[in-house]
Amino acid sequence: MDKANNQELLKFILASIEMIKNRFDGISTSDDFMHNEDGMTKLDAISMRLQSIGEALKNIDKRDRNFLLEVADKAYWSNIIRTREILSHH
């Protein structure tokens, strides 16, 4: 994914957000993820998409430091990228 251009990465991020929203169907509380195997599968899928979004944003930021700053400040993007690090490594 790191070879994709910013436009491709942004399309991927938007598609991932839609998938996450769809996977939250039937989930009202965090406990709903633990009730059955389907809930755990949804949690795993959502977590992987969040990691992928963070990675895509990290790649955009590496390639063009000012691109993301046109939308929000550095702290905003850093929080998202840090969330990816937590999901991936902790």
Domain count, the chain: 1
Q: Which pLDDT value is given to residue 90?
A: 81
Burial of 53 (0-12, 13-18, 19+ CB in 10 A): buried
Whether 45 is in a domain gets the answer: yes
Rounded average pLDDT over 7-16: 96
Whether 81 is in a domain gets the answer: yes
Tell me which residue of 59, 53, 41, 61 sits closest to 84, measured CA to CA.
Answer: 53
CA separation for the pair 35, 67 (Å, rounded) = 41
Answer yes or no: is pLDDT of 2 > 90. no
Neighbour tally for 37: CB within 10 Å:
7
Whether 32 is in a domain gets the answer: yes
Whether 1 is in a domain gets the answer: no
Which residue range is the domain that position 77 belongs to? Answer: 6-89
Q: Which pLDDT value is given to residue 1?
A: 65
pTM value > 0.85:
yes
Whether 49 is in a domain gets the answer: yes
pLDDT digits (tens, 9 = 90+) for 42-72: 999 999 999 999 999 999 999 998 999 999 9
